[in-house]
Each structure stands twice: as structure tokens, then as C-alpha cells.
């Protein structure tokens, strides 16, 4: 889709990160370094939630920024820089997860056979773990963080990405829709289902005062 000069100019005026990327387009190494400083930790955080491995997330973050650099000469601002960047993050994460899924097919089958009666559904695993807690004991901050992380990881790929962009990047429905290549209404429905799934996963911890 072509981007009009007026649209590109509007984003250039509104978004300082767009202006940095335009400097990168002109081979300004300092501008690229500044963008990496601004976004590297955020990109790694989102990727870690998506692929569940810190070392892999760091490797994928490097790939994301390499893609940014390689595409610099064709860059035209048609959105906020963060929206454009996290579109790349979404694509890189999707490719990585597909690759991981292919490699783990045999391992997962073997693990399920060996685990006996352990629930296979992530939601069931969370509920099972919750049932073992003393209902009146208050969860500390680290425990609650771990529980919420597990709940987020139980979401499917699209729901998880939408939640992460909404929570960590504080993106609007429109920006999330553009990042994920979906309509605004589809994103609203996706986030609604994600929140319902999270509520279900966390419900055991919301009962009997286990969560402050």
C-alpha cells in the first residue's frame, strides 16, 4: 500500500522516533544506536513472553533490529515507529514459534505419554496448581507475577501478542490492528476473548482472598 506524502509528513512531525528512523535511512549510525537503546529492552520483553525463552528472545531481538536496518532504504513513515517496529517483531516471533512447534512435535508427544494423568491443557495445569495452594494465604509479589506470566503464556499466539501490545506498549486498538494485520473490530474481539481466558486461568487465585 502506497503512503501519501502528507501522511508521511504527519508522522514525521508527530513522532520523534520516526524522525530518528529517517536519519537511519540516510545511514546515520548514531540514530540507529539511539533507536536500539530506546526499544531493545521492550522488544526483548515482548519476545520473551511470546517464545518463553530469554536467550531465544535476545537472539530474535537482534534479528528484528537487523531487519530494521536492512529495510532502512525503503522506509516510509505510514504509522508510528513503534507500530512499524512491532509489526516486524510479530512476524519474527510467528516464524520462530512455527519453527519451535515443528521441532517439538515429537518431544511433546513423548512428554504427554510419559506424564500419565498430568493435565495437557495449560488452563487445566494452572487450575491444578492453584488447587494446591492454601486458600487463605496471601500470594507475594513474585508468586503473583509468575502466575500471571503463566496465564499469559497459556493464551494462543494472537491473543498473547494483542495483550502484550496493549499492556506493555499501551497501543491503541488501531495501532494493534495495524501491527497484527487485522481489523479494529477483530482486535477488540481478540482482546475480549484473551481477557476472558485470563480471568478463567486466574480465577482460582481470585477466590478466598488469595490475591490482595
Q: Answer yes or no: is 124 within a domain.
A: no
| pLDDT band at residue 209 under the 50/70/90 scheme | very low
Q: Answer yes or no: is 131 within a domain.
A: no
C-alpha cell at 143: 508468586
Name the least confident of 3-7, 21-25, 61-65, 109-113: 109-113
Q: Answer yes or no: is 127 within a domain.
A: no
Computed from CA positions of residues 198, 201, 206, 212, in that sequence, does the dihedral angle turn out positive or negative? negative
pLDDT at 201: 82
Per-residue pLDDT for 199 more than 80? yes
Q: pLDDT for 143-197, tens place per residue?
A: 666 777 788 888 888 999 999 999 888 999 999 999 999 999 999 999 999 999 9
Per-residue pLDDT for 45 more than 70? yes
In CATH, what number is assigned to the domain containing residue 90?
Answer: 1.10.1740.10
Distance, CA of 65 to CA of 63 (rounded, Å): 5
Distance, CA of 30 to CA of 202 (rounded, Å): 44
Residue 22: partners with Cβ closer than 8 Å, 6 or more residues away: 12, 75, 77
| pLDDT band at residue 134 under the 50/70/90 scheme | very low
Q: What is the total count of domains within the chain?
A: 1
Strand spans (E) along 60-189: none
Q: pLDDT for 72-95, tens place per residue?
A: 999 999 999 999 999 999 999 989
CA proximity to 175, closest of 194, 161, 157: 161
Per-residue pLDDT for 107 more than 70? no
pLDDT at 204: 75
CA proximity to 175, closest of 62, 85, 60: 85
CA angle 152-158-164, nearest 5°? Answer: 50
Residue 207 near residue 135 (C-beta atoms within 8 A): yes
Q: Answer yes or no: is 116 within a domain.
A: no
CB-CB neighbours of 124 under 10 Å: 13
CA angle 181-52-41, nearest 5°? Answer: 75
Residue 123 near residue 23 (C-beta atoms within 8 A): no
pLDDT at 19: 96
Q: Answer yes or no: is 130 within a domain.
A: no
Q: Answer yes or no: is 87 within a domain.
A: yes
pLDDT at 34: 95
Residue 125: partners with Cβ closer than 8 Å, 6 or more residues away: 118, 119, 154
Q: Answer yes or no: is 121 within a domain.
A: no
pLDDT at 131: 42
- Percent of the chain past pLDDT 90, that is, above it, reads 53
Residue 159 near residue 197 (C-beta atoms within 8 A): yes
Q: Which residue bears the cell 495445569?
A: 125
Domain that holds residue 177: 5-109+139-208
pLDDT at 71: 95
HSE, side-chain direction, 13 A CA sphere, residue 65: 22
Q: Answer yes or no: is 122 within a domain.
A: no
Amino acid at each position: 500500500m502506497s503512503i501519501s506524502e502528507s501522511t508521511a509528513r504527519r508522522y514525521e512531525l508527530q513522532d520523534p522516533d520516526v524522525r530518528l528512523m529517517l536519519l537511519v535511512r540516510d545511514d546515520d549510525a548514531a540514530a540507529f544506536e539511539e533507536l536500539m537503546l530506546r526499544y531493545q529492552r521492550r522488544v526483548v520483553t515482548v519476545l520473551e513472553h511470546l517464545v518463553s525463552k530469554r536467550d531465544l528472545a535476545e537472539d530474535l531481538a537482534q534479528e528484528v533490529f537487523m531487519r530494521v536496518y536492512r529495510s532502512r532504504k525503503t522506509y516510509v513513515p505510514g504509522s508510528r515507529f513503534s507500530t512499524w517496529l512491532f509489526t516486524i517483531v510479530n512476524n519474527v516471533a510467528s516464524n520462530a514459534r512455527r519453527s519451535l512447534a515443528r521441532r517439538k512435535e515429537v518431544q511433546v508427544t513423548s512428554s504427554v505419554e510419559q506424564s500419565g494423568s498430568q493435565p495437557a491443557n495449560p488452563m487445566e495445569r494452572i487450575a491444578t496448581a492453584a488447587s494446591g495452594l492454601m486458600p487463605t494465604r496471601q500470594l507475594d509479589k513474585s508468586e503473583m507475577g509468575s502466575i500471571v506470566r503463566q496465564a499469559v503464556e497459556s493464551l494462543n499466539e494472537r491473543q498473547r501478542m494483542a495483550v502484550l501490545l496493549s499492556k506493555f506498549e499501551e497501543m491503541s486498538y488501531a495501532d494493534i490492528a495495524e501491527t497484527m494485520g487485522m481489523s479494529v473490530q477483530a482486535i477488540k474481539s481478540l482482546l475480549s476473548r484473551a481477557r476472558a481466558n485470563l480471568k478463567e486461568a486466574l480465577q482460582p487465585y481470585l477466590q478466598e482472598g488469595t490475591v490482595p
